[in-house]
Amino acid sequence: MHGLTGASNWQVFIYTMVVTHITIAGVTIYLHRHQAHRALDLHPLPSHFFRFWIWLTSGMVTKEWAAIHRKHHAKCETVDDPHSPVTRGIKNVLLTGSEMYRAESKNMETIEKYGHGTPDDWIEHNLYTRFSWQGVGLMMIIDVLLFGVLGMTVWAVQMMWIPITAAGIINGIGHYWGYRNYDCADASRNIIPFGILIGGEELHNNHHTFGTSAKLSSKWYEFDIGWMYIRMMEMVGLAKVKKIAPAPKFDRQKMAADFDTLQSVISNRYEVMAKYAKSIKATWHDELEHLRSKAKLESGFLKSSKRLLHREPAKLGLTQQQQLRELFAHSKPLQTMHEMRSELSAIWERSHSSRDQLLHQLQDWCSRAEASGIKGLQDFSLRLRSYA
């Protein structure tokens, strides 16, 4: 029996899981999607509840959190990124991620430059910001009153929850290990497809690709529990979604790419390149037997070459480019797929070109793809022409 509640150990455990999950929900819905990215509007009731709860369970200040996160996106994977494992090392981010956050929160230039639009009312200045540590102190008193000495353990878990899950796992592993749906400019990765434990933040590559989307899942097999909560609040008038990732539409009857196709391809370029990666995979499968038997290439060389084919050509080093040239000497289809990937991505990178020029380039690309004799490339081009 513990404290005023007389709760059993199992009841204390359930309580701990519930309150830490509410904290995660507050971070992903309120701090991240609402405040940092403005992907949704929140009714004052849940907005202030989350602000109070985060003060009570973490002591984090809304303006500081939003500013640091916005800077992370603006300076991602550079020396100015507050917590990138690419520049600071995965071990350092995992073990000292919360210290990195606290150090950056003292950088007034960061707070002023990136902290705009966050709460600026009386209670923010006179309670949440001024007495940030008193919130977690109050939480400790509440836990001890509820559960006695065991309440100190509950409180310790609450205090460690965000530093471990957000500062460590998301900022560290989320840029180091996992799978990628989209080849965006940074190293972000989806840790697992079931975003439950960390409120949907496990789907980190999706988020970095579509930073202002209120929904973090993008594939049918991915689940974002934070999005589920947002939709539930929206249904009862407590939230309003402002933006989600674009979803391509298709007109299977289209026989030629037009301006609508061009606009849709540019708007959905990450989805387009994800589909192109599948076409490369299909072509690799078709070529693999030839590369093994006739070219007699070693399995280690083939395995590493397959990974290189799925990387953006501009990101390849000289040694990696040389390896692919050796591969292409034995496979013209793979060389064509690689080269045409660069040509396709250049279409939305040519900001100096007119719409007519870009459309002509897209039409020419499709014509050459369909005349290539490479099934994966031909099928991809037919799908590309149907973007509407």
Q: Which long-range contacts (CB under 8 A, 24 or more apart) does 129-132 make?
A: 129/61, 129/63, 132/55, 132/59, 132/60, 132/61
Predicted local confidence at residue 315, as pLDDT: 80
Neighbours of 87 (CB within 10 A): 15
- Give pLDDT tens digits for 131-176: 989 999 999 999 999 999 999 999 999 999 998 888 888 999 999 9
Question: Distance between terminal CA atoms of the chain?
Answer: 64
Question: Residue 249 — very low, low, confident or very high, per pLDDT cuts 50/70/90?
Answer: confident
Torsion of CA 88, 306, 190, 223, to 10 degrees: 180
Cβ atoms < 10 Å from Cβ of 33: 30
- pLDDT tens string 32-91: 999 999 999 999 999 999 999 999 999 999 999 999 999 999 999 999 999 999 999 999
Domain boundary assignment for the chain? 9-241, 259-385
Q: Are strands 40-42 and 239-241 parallel, antiparallel or unpaired?
A: antiparallel
Coil, strand, or helix at residue 190?
strand
Mean pLDDT calculated for residue range 206-210: 95
pTM score of the predicted model = 0.86
